[in-house]
Amino acid sequence: MDLWRVCVWLPGETDTARNGHPAFVWPRQGHGRVDDPEHDYLVLYLGDSPVGAIAEYLGDYARWTPAVLEPPPAAPTGSRLGLARYTFTGSILDLDDPEVLSEWALRPSSVVTRDRGITQRWARAIHDSGEYAGVSWWSHRDPRWASLGVWDRAQLRVSDEVEELTLVHPALIEASHVISRVVET
Using only the alpha carbons of the chain, give its radius of gyration: 16
pLDDT over 70 percentage in the chain: 100
- Residue-level pLDDT at 185: 83
pTM of structure: 0.94
pLDDT digits (tens, 9 = 90+) for 81-97: 999 999 999 999 999 99
- Residue-level pLDDT at 74: 87
Q: C-alpha 154: how far from its chain's center?
A: 16
Read off the pLDDT of each residue in 123-151 and give the average, rounded to a whole number. 96
> What residues contact 116, with CB distance under 8 A and at least 6 apart?
31, 32, 33, 35
pLDDT digits (tens, 9 = 90+) for 3-52: 999 999 999 999 999 999 999 998 888 889 999 999 999 999 999 999 99
Q: State the number of CA atoms in the 13 A half-sphere of 70 facing the CB.
A: 7
pLDDT over 90 percentage in the chain: 91
- Residue-level pLDDT at 26: 87
Output the CA angle 81-85-86, nearest 5 degrees: 130
**Quick count: other Cβ atoms within 10 Å of Cβ 154?**
9
Calculated CA dihedral for residues 28, 162, 147, 173, nearest 10 degrees: 120
Read off the pLDDT of each residue in 117-146 and give the average, rounded to a whole number. 96
Give the pairing type, strands 146-150 and 80-88: unpaired
Calculated CA dihedral for residues 46, 47, 49, 53, nearest 10 degrees: -90
- Residue-level pLDDT at 41: 94
pLDDT digits (tens, 9 = 90+) for 59-82: 999 999 999 999 999 899 999 999
